[in-house]
Structure 1
Amino acid sequence: MKFTNMMTLAASLFIFAIFGAIATPVTLEKRDVFVPPVSSPRSGTVWKSGERHTVVWDTRNAPVNITNKVGVIRLRKDDLTTPLILASNFDILSGRQTVTVPNVVEGDDYQVVLFGDSGNFSPKFTIKGSGIQF
């Protein structure tokens, strides 16, 4: 008899735990997502492979509590973000980061993507070859 009562009690606690957890409201922390606009490179900019340039973004409206302050800059072409990482592990609040332009196919449809909390694209710009003759 005691065994049956223990089983009933255990089953009741299990059911309460499941439905109690479902009925319990979840409180989420307030998170501030920072999406700084990229100001350089801008439309009409021309970079050459092998050169060093500074990517610049506006940090004036940065929230106090940023979810992710570690930045990554990647290259985007033809509206697809490439696996090419131009810079990483920098403070998103620095507002600038120097990068080396990779050796890529020439084109006028490149963008840099600034990642931290989210991805933000620069305007489209041009990358030309290094001019080295082989």
Structure 2
Amino acid sequence: PHTGTVWKVGAKHNVTWNTSNPPKQITDTIGQIYLRHGDSTHATALASGFSILDGHKEITVPSVKAGSNYRIVLMGDSGNWSDEFKIEA
């Protein structure tokens, strides 16, 4: 998601990322997607066990507190963060 995006609790979304030029030295292609809120060190797991080389994964927005400073975190060979976006109940 990009800044200004609004997701609803319970909705399905396709999280996407660019795989057009992956590093040749990738050592871990198994991905994980997390939802992070604000500056919290806690993140909610949304998906795991998929190949980061796929470039997409469908997730369901969990039942979380409404707010405007959420981020998607993609983990695999390295961590990548989305822009902040909003979730509504």
- Report the TM range for the smaller structure's normalisation: over 0.9
Q: Say how many residue pairs are matched.
A: 89
Gaps of 5+ in 2: none
Deviant stretches of 4+, over 2 Å: 79-83
Higher relative helix content = 1
Name which of 52, 72, 88 aligns with 1:112: 72
Q: Does structure 2 conserve the Cα–Cα contact (< 8 Å) formed by 1:108 and 1:124?
A: yes
Corresponding residue SS for 1:80 = coil
Report the AA paired with residue 52 of structure 2: I
**Matches of residues 40-119 of structure 1 in structure 2 within 5 Å?**
41-119=1-79
Gaps of 5+ in 1: 1-40, 130-134
Q: Does structure 1 conserve the Cα–Cα contact (< 8 Å) formed by 2:7 and 2:86?
A: yes
Q: Does structure 1 conserve the Cα–Cα contact (< 8 Å) formed by 2:37 and 2:43?
A: no
* TM-aligned CA distance change 1:53 to 1:103, over 3 Å: same
1:95, 1:106 → 2: CA distance?
Answer: 28
Higher relative contact order (CA 8 A, sep 6+): 2
Deviation per residue, 1:90-124 (Å, 9 max, x gap): 00000000000000000000000000012110000
TM-score of the two chains, using structure 2 as the length reference? 0.94
Over alpha carbons, which structure has the higher Rg? 1
Higher relative strand content = 2
RMSD: 1.0
Match of 2:83 in 1: 123
TM-score of the two chains, using structure 1 as the length reference? 0.64
Aligned-residue sequence identity (percent) comes to: 49
**Matches of residues 28-47 of structure 1 in structure 2 within 5 Å?**
41-47=1-7
